[in-house]
Structure formats: structure tokens, C-alpha cells
């Protein structure tokens, strides 16, 4: 019905009612009384319709409208249309919610929705399996009431959504979980937990395998090297064998370095923090390593130190020396005689930077993300020729990680390379 026409019709009904009351009042000489009675009748009719509308709104049936004509019919029609649209929206939202619930319930990882105060609003089936949550009693509970480990409390209050934490599953000491948080909505948090037990077992098996194989290789390598040295020192050895013996000695030495690096990596991976933490004089450390670098070869490039801070580092000096030495040796090996290698130490109060910069041939951009992978080489032939094992940068990365630092690599072909070790303020001595 057209809203304009319904109001016109209502106007003419009122006009007709007034006219009838006027005529009747004129006949009985009671115009005011009849007009008042007409007004009361119109008012009671509207009150009756309002009551009927209120009853209908309590449970609106859009298919059965009490009045289909006039202003009231127009009102009912409009409300019915809105109700139908609302019902359709609710149906779509219900379907989406059901689909979302089904998909999240099928996730293998635990997902727990928390409100702004950290109370549990919802969790999926995996949370029941991995965390032992029960919907009947745990909905509405603060998460930290159920996961009370001190490291979990500290992790949750830090609100570091880019970090993760490894914890033992509640009620199952054999299961290890990796948990993380992510914000959503207005102050709400999604708590995620992944079962990493199998992954940790595989990593442990791999580490044990590497360590055991490396240990087993040390003895035969020592025996081979010993026999080769004896044959080289024996004056009765055929001169024609000298070249093969020299190559055997070189390869045995290379194998020994690989074994030593693998053992070091296995040792670094077995612990998450340095075995000792002392104040390391970085200035003295860099100057010593620079002197060693100058003695690497007769035609080494210029090696200099730029010390802009007197702050000392808290960490394992032996491991830090190994990391910086690896970076320095790489820089020297890939820098021409007329080039320059710079070891620098800077501090801005919030973090400190230990940098090894060279003016060598540089590294193509596509290689940079993979440089810290084990045995990854940009130029395999040259790396072996220079005696590299392909494990140096992997060792550097692990050592820095154990010192809460990170390694940043900047390089371009023909423009040299810059290896930046960034240490947080917590690693600086007072």
C-alpha cells in the first residue's frame, strides 16, 4: 500500500466522522457532545489497535497481519517487511556462525577466545583434548586460573603477540605445547596452542644422530690423518704419492673441521642459554680478532676496528669469539687485497650493534635469506677452495640467539657486505 494514499484515506475517514457527528449533533441540538463522542470513539479505536500491535510485536507472524488497510495496515506491513529482513539476516548469521564453529572445531590446534579481562568465552574441541578444558565449568573462568605455570603467567602478561612459549600440557607431562596469542575485536585475545611433541622428538633424534655420527667420525679421521702424516714424513715414500697424500691430508682436515662444527652446532642446540655469563670486553675482543685476521694470510685486506662504546656484553666470551671470528674470516676470504674489513661496536642506550663490514664482491639479494642455512653456499667451488664448511653462519645465528641477539645481513653484488649483530639492552653490563 502506498503510504501517501493510506494517510489520505485516514484523513477522509476523520473528516467523514466529524461530518456525521456534526449532522447528528445538529439534529439533536448537541453538536459539541456528538463531536466529543466521535473523538472518544476514534481515540478508543486507536488505543485498541495499539494494544493489538503490542500483542502482535511480542510474537510477530509476518504471514498473518491483523489489519491490511489504512494507516494501521501500512504500519503492520512495514514492520512485517523489517521483521522478514531481520529473520533472513539472522538465518544467514546463524549459518555463518555454525560454519565458523564447525571449521574451528575441526582445527588440530587448540583455540581459546578470551575477553578483555582474560576470561574464557569459547574454545574448540582441540582445547578440550590438549588443555583439558571442560565447557560446563571452564567457560567464564580466567585462563590463568587453569594454566598456572609461572612462565605462562609471565608470557600472558607481556602481551607480546609475536612471541611463542613452550609449555608442558596440563595433566600430561609427556606432551609439549607451543602457545601464542593474537589480538582481535576490542581488547579480546585468541589463545592458540599447538602440540609439538612429535616435532620435538624428531628434532631430538636429528640432533642425537648428528652428534653421534660426528663423534664416530672423529676416531677414523684421526687414524687416517695419522697414517697420511707418517707417509708424508717417511723418506722412503714414493715421490709420486706425495701429491695424492697432500690431497688426502687436506680433505681429512676439511672433514675434521666439518665434524668439529657439527659437534659445536649440536652443543649449541642442546641448550637455550649460554653455559656461563660473564662481562665480555668487546673492545679487547674485536682488537684480538682483528690481529688474528691480519695473520690469516700474507695478502689479507686492511682490517680495522671502530669502537664507539665502552659497554661490555653479558655472555659467553668463547662463543662470542667464535661467532665474530666466523664473520671476520668470511669477510677476509671474500675481500680483495686492496679492500677493507671493519669491525665496529656501537651503543645507543637501548641496544648495541656489533658489525662486520667488508668491501668485497658482495652477495646477490636472492641468496641472503638462506645464508644461515647449514651447508648453504653461494659459490660452492670457491667456498671449498677457501676451506669453508658451510656451517659458519649457522653457528653464528645459534650463538646470537642464545645471547638474545639477532643477525641482520645487508649486501649487494659489487658493493660489499654488512653483518650486523644486534644485542638488547638486557645483555649490556651496567
Domain boundary among 83, 101, 119: 101
* Same domain assignment for residues 296 and 400: yes
What does the pLDDT read at residue 2? Answer: 55
Domain boundary among 211, 244, 270: 270
> Is it the case that residue 35 has pLDDT exceeding 60?
yes
Residue 331: domain span: 278-427
* Same domain assignment for residues 175 and 205: no
What does the pLDDT read at residue 329? Answer: 87
Grid cell for residue 331: 669477510
* Same domain assignment for residues 416 and 327: yes
What does the pLDDT read at residue 355? Answer: 92
Report the alpha-carbon distance of residue 287 to residue 292 in Å, rounded.
Answer: 9
- Give per-residue pLDDT as tens, 385-411: 555 567 778 888 888 888 888 899 888
What does the pLDDT read at residue 332? Answer: 87
Q: In which band, very low, low, confident or very high, does the pLDDT at 5 lie, cut at 50, 70 and 90?
A: low
How many percent of the chain have pLDDT more than 70? Answer: 89
CATH number at residue 148: 3.30.450.20
Task: Name the more confident of 196 and 50.
Answer: 196
What does the pLDDT read at residue 100? Answer: 66
- Give per-residue pLDDT as tens, 228-256: 888 888 878 888 888 888 888 877 877 77
* Same domain assignment for residues 350 and 389: yes
* Same domain assignment for residues 353 and 237: no
> Is it the case that residue 262 has pLDDT exceeding 80?
no
276-280 long-range contacts, Cβ below 8 Å, gap at least 24?
276/316, 277/314, 277/315, 277/316, 278/314, 278/315, 278/316, 278/317, 279/312, 279/313, 279/314, 279/429, 280/312, 280/313, 280/314, 280/315, 280/317, 280/320
- Mean pLDDT rounded to a whole number for the chain: 81
- Give per-residue pLDDT as tens, 176-209: 899 999 888 788 888 999 888 888 888 778 777 7
Report the alpha-carbon distance of residue 274 to residue 268 in Å, rounded.
Answer: 8
* Same domain assignment for residues 91 and 155: no
Q: In which band, very low, low, confident or very high, does the pLDDT at 366 lie, cut at 50, 70 and 90?
A: confident
What does the pLDDT read at residue 334? Answer: 84
* Same domain assignment for residues 118 and 210: no
Residues 6+ positions from 105 with CB-CB distance below 8 Å? 124, 125, 126
* Same domain assignment for residues 285 and 413: yes
CATH number at residue 208: 1.10.287
Q: How many domains does the chain divide into?
A: 4
What does the pLDDT read at residue 237? Answer: 80
Report the alpha-carbon distance of residue 372 to residue 409 in Å, rounded.
Answer: 10
Residues 6+ positions from 142 with CB-CB distance below 8 Å? 117, 118, 119, 120
Strands, sheet with 351-358, edge to edge from the N-terminal-most edge strand: 302-307, 340-347, 351-358, 417-424, 406-411
* Same domain assignment for residues 302 and 402: yes
* Same domain assignment for residues 349 and 383: yes
**Other CB atoms within 10 A of residue 15 CB:** 10
Q: Residues for the chain: how many in total?
A: 430
Q: Average pLDDT, stretch 275-292?
A: 84
CATH number at residue 353: 3.30.565.10
* Same domain assignment for residues 86 and 127: no
Domain boundary among 142, 164, 195: 195
Grid cell for residue 76: 503492520
* Same domain assignment for residues 324 and 380: yes
pTM (2 decimals)? 0.53
Q: Are 138 and 112 in contact (CB under 8 A)?
A: no
> Is it the case that residue 147 has pLDDT exceeding 70?
yes
- Give per-residue pLDDT as tens, 80-133: 778 788 888 888 888 777 776 666 666 788 888 898 888 998 888 888 888 888
Amino acid at each position: 500500500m502506498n503510504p501517501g494514499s493510506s494517510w489520505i484515506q485516514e484523513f477522509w475517514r476523520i473528516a467523514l466522522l466529524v461530518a456525521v457527528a456534526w449532522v447528528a449533533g445538529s439534529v439533536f441540538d448537541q453538536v459539541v457532545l456528538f463531536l466529543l463522542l466521535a473523538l472518544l470513539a476514534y481515540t478508543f479505536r486507536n488505543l485498541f489497535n495499539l494494544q493489538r500491535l503490542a500483542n502482535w510485536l511480542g510474537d510477530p507472524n509476518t504471514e498473518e497481519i491483523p489489519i491490511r488497510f489504512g494507516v494501521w495496515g501500512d504500519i503492520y506491513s512495514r514492520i512485517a517487511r523489517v521483521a522478514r529482513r531481520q529473520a533472513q539476516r539472522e538465518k544467514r548469521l546463524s549459518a555463518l556462525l555454525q560454519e565458523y564453529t564447525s571449521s574451528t572445531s575441526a582445527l588440530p590446534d587448540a583455540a581459546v577466545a578470551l575477553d578483555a579481562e582474560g576470561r574464557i568465552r569459547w574454545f574448540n574441541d582441540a582445547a578440550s583434548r590438549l588443555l583439558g578444558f571442560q565447557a560446563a565449568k571452564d567457560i567464564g573462568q580466567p585462563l590463568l586460573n587453569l594454566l598456572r605455570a609461572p612462565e605462562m603467567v609471565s608470557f600472558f602478561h607481556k602481551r607480546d603477540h609475536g612471541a611463542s612459549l613452550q609449555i608442558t600440557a596440563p595433566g600430561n607431562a609427556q606432551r609439549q605445547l607451543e602457545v601464542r596469542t593474537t589480538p582481535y575485536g576490542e581488547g579480546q585475545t585468541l589463545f592458540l596452542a599447538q602440540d609439538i611433541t612429535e616435532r620435538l622428538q624428531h628434532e631430538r633424534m636429528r640432533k642425537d644422530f648428528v652428534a653421534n655420527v660426528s663423534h664416530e667420525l672423529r676416531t677414523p679421521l684421526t687414524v687416517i690423518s695419522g697414517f697420511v702424516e707418517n707417509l708424508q714424513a717417511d723418506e722412503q715414500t714414493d715421490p709420486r704419492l706425495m701429491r695424492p697424500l697432500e690431497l688426502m691430508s687436506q680433505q681429512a682436515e676439511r672433514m675434521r673441521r666439518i665434524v668439529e662444527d657439527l659437534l659445536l652446532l649440536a652443543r649449541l642446540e642442546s641448550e637455550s642459554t649460554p653455559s656461563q655469563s660473564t662481562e665480555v670486553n668487546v673492545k679487547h675482543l674485536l682488537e684480538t680478532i682483528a690481529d688474528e685476521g691480519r695473520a690469516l694470510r700474507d695478502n689479507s685486506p686492511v682490517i680495522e676496528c671502530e669502537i664507539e662504546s665502552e659497554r661490555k656484553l653479558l655472555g659467553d666470551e668463547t662463543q662470542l669469539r667464535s661467532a665474530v671470528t666466523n664473520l671476520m674470516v668470511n669477510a677476509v676470504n671474500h675481500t680483495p687485497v686492496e679492500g677493507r674489513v671493519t669491525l665496529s661496536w656501537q651503543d645507543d642506550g637501548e641496544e648495541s650493534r656489533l658489525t662486520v663490514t667488508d668491501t668485497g664482491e658482495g652477495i646477490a639479494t636472492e641468496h641472503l635469506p638462506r645464508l644461515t642455512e647449514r651447508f648453504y653456499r653461494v659459490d660452492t667451488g670457491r667456498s671449498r677452495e677457501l676451506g669453508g664448511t658451510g656451517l659458519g653462519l649457522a653457528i653464528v645465528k645459534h650463538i646470537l640467539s642464545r645471547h638474545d641477539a639477532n643477525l641482520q645481513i645487508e649486501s649487494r653484488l659489487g658493493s660489499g657486505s654488512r653483518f650486523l649483530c644486534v644485542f638488547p639492552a638486557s645483555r649490556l653490563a651496567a
